[in-house]
Structure 1
Amino acid sequence: MAGYADDLALAHTLADSADSIAMARFRSLDLKVEAKPDLTPVSDADTAVEKAIRATLARARPRDGVLGEEFGRSEAAAGPGTRHWVIDPIDGTKNYVRGVPIWATLIALLEGDTPVVGLVSAPALGRRWWAGRGLGAYAGRHQHAASRIEVSQVRKLTDASVCYASLTGWQENGRLPQLLDVLLGVWRSRAYGDFYGYMLLAEGALDAMAEPELSLWDMAALIPIIQEAGGKVTDLDGRTCADQSSVVATNGLLHESLLTALTPRG
């Protein structure tokens, strides 16, 4: 456990640097934004944050690999239980470039395929979330001003607050009718998007979130936080691998009923 505590402390150091860089460029009039090949935006802040994190990891954890959204993968030292860090320098870039404060740096450590440390830092919201395997999940302004967090105890979908993302993605994967049935049948539905809905889930402020498409760097940091808060994370087919293309995250009590409700009929 001590090893994860050290890694979590390093993740906070990485996040401090990322916050400083990203906040200095947030709402800047000379922010440079380009379109990537998949037509999603990337700003000069995205690349600057990832470069800074990689530089620190190269010094502090030279044997660990790194996978980042903007600069791809650098391999870890070979061997069993290979460790690698997974970085999304700015999750919510579309919000960032429009001046919406709901964006964050996501930092995860994986051992093999298992996320064991996760940190989400949203400096424009003045909030950070983090967890290490066996260490619990926490949220606050920073690591010295934080409280332990837990998921809700809601047991029925009809009583649940459910978050979702990307209606077009649900249409493309053929499950939009199922999602709409869920949203019309629950107590409350909202589309907070990106990291934020998952962190509200971990805090117990909502009860489930589902997303039809995402990448490893979108999810790796969120998994330990949700799990250490008592929740459950799988893909739409109920598989628990980290590198999944879809996600269903719940307080655990709602998980099977939500998976069933999102399964195509016939």
Structure 2
Amino acid sequence: MSARPVIAVAWHAVAGYSDDLRLAHVLADGADDITTRHFRALELDARAKPDPAPVDDAERSVEEQIRGTLKRARPRDAILGPEYGRTGYGQRYWIIDPIDATDNFVRGVPVWATLIALMEHDEIVVGVASAPALNRRWWAARGDGAWTGRNLNRAGRIQVSSVSELADASLSYSGLGGWEEQGRLDRFLDLTRSVWRTRAFGDFWSHMMVAEGVVDISAAPEASLWDLAALQVIVEEAGGMFTDLAGVPGPDGGSVVCTNGRLHAETLRTLGGGRLSLRL
């Protein structure tokens, strides 16, 4: 059975972090202000079909603010986001998901986040996932470990679990619809039957729970680059593995399998994915 990881709490001088990671936190702070204000202003009737307009407005506002800040702070960097596509050129670009888990946001469920990543030469080097309604934030810079906390000054380092058998593993996912649409539902149900426990925490939170070691496997049959880019570096810096269903590492394969590493090959086999492909 999985045990919670030991999270070492450490004090850090902000100056010890890279300028890019510090900037990503500044961007997340601004996004949190916007999303929290919109979320609290929603007047939702849970018995009626939700109106997507408030979340659309919030997403545009967040992406516009982030783009404006980056234009001033990193004028040479490109930017990619769901609202305005890709702007700029070069080997460095920021990948933004203004609100991940928008269905939760519009229904008043507090499980949603802004995701911010920086890619350099086809590698994600910085990632931040900020969930202000949960009062949680996760982040990583390549080579510096994965962390959680409310800010850079005080943070706890996180790591994946040591569970090595599917029968002892906890699995989190977002839903069944995508698996059924892709003809993979039977395979996914095989996986749910093989593990100790299943819960649908969903979206970014499933993957961050893998990074923290409280969940051992998460998977989604379809996802966009901006859904996954920030999460990849956090999971990997926590000691986990992050691939698509074909076993190819990276956030741009259109799907994701996220594990503590020990369970990755068996999870892929159960889902009927490809052989694990490691980049050397």
Return the TM-score normalized by structure 1: 0.91
Map Cα deviations across residues 160-198 of structure 1 (whole Å, 9 max, x no partner). 001122311101111111111110121100111110000
Name the structure 2 match of 1:179: 188
Q: Does 1:45 align with 2:81?
A: no
Name the structure 1 match of 2:221: 212
Deviation at 1:253, TM superposition (A): 0.4
* Residues 117-156 of structure 1 aligned to structure 2 (within 5 Å): 117-156=126-165
Name the structure 2 match of 1:63: 76
The answer to whether the 8 A contact 2:191-2:271 is kept is yes
- The verdict on how the C-alpha distance between 1:152 and 1:3 changes in structure 2, with shifts beyond 3 A counting, is same
Give 5+ residue unaligned stretches, structure 1.
36-40
Structure 2: how far apart are the matches of 1:241 and 1:4? 24
Map Cα deviations across residues 42-72 of structure 1 (whole Å, 9 max, x no partner). 4211110110000000000000000011111
The residue type paired with residue 174 of structure 1 is G
The residue type paired with residue 73 of structure 1 is R
Q: Does 1:231 align with 2:240?
A: yes
The answer to whether the 8 A contact 1:4-1:133 is kept is no
The residue type paired with residue 107 of structure 1 is I
* Residues 81-100 of structure 1 aligned to structure 2 (within 5 Å): 82-100=91-109
Map Cα deviations across residues 68-105 of structure 1 (whole Å, 9 max, x no partner). 1111110224xxxx000000001011111111100000
- The verdict on how the C-alpha distance between 1:59 and 1:33 changes in structure 2, with shifts beyond 3 A counting, is farther
Q: Does 1:18 align with 2:45?
A: no
User: Runs of 4 or more off by more than 2 Å in structure 1?
Assistant: 29-35
Structure 2: how far apart are the matches of 1:59 and 1:3? 23
The residue type paired with residue 128 of structure 2 is L
Structure 1: how far apart are the matches of 2:43 and 2:212? 36
Structure 2: how far apart are the matches of 1:223 and 1:108? 9
Q: Does 1:200 align with 2:209?
A: yes
Deviation at 1:27, TM superposition (A): 3.3
The answer to whether the 8 A contact 1:4-1:116 is kept is no
- The verdict on how the C-alpha distance between 1:29 and 1:123 changes in structure 2, with shifts beyond 3 A counting, is closer
The answer to whether the 8 A contact 2:55-2:105 is kept is no
Deviation at 1:145, TM superposition (A): 2.6
Structure 2: how far apart are the matches of 1:30 and 1:187? 39
The answer to whether the 8 A contact 2:52-2:106 is kept is no
Deviation at 1:4, TM superposition (A): 7.4
Return the TM-score normalized by structure 2: 0.87
The answer to whether the 8 A contact 2:242-2:250 is kept is no
Structure 2: how far apart are the matches of 1:128 and 1:29? 23
Q: Does 1:163 align with 2:163?
A: no
Deviation at 1:116, TM superposition (A): 0.9
Name the structure 2 match of 1:38: none
Deviation at 1:114, TM superposition (A): 1.4
The residue type paired with residue 199 of structure 2 is R
Name the structure 2 match of 1:8: 21
How many residues in Structure 1 have an aligned counterpart in Structure 2?
A: 255
The answer to whether the 8 A contact 2:158-2:211 is kept is yes
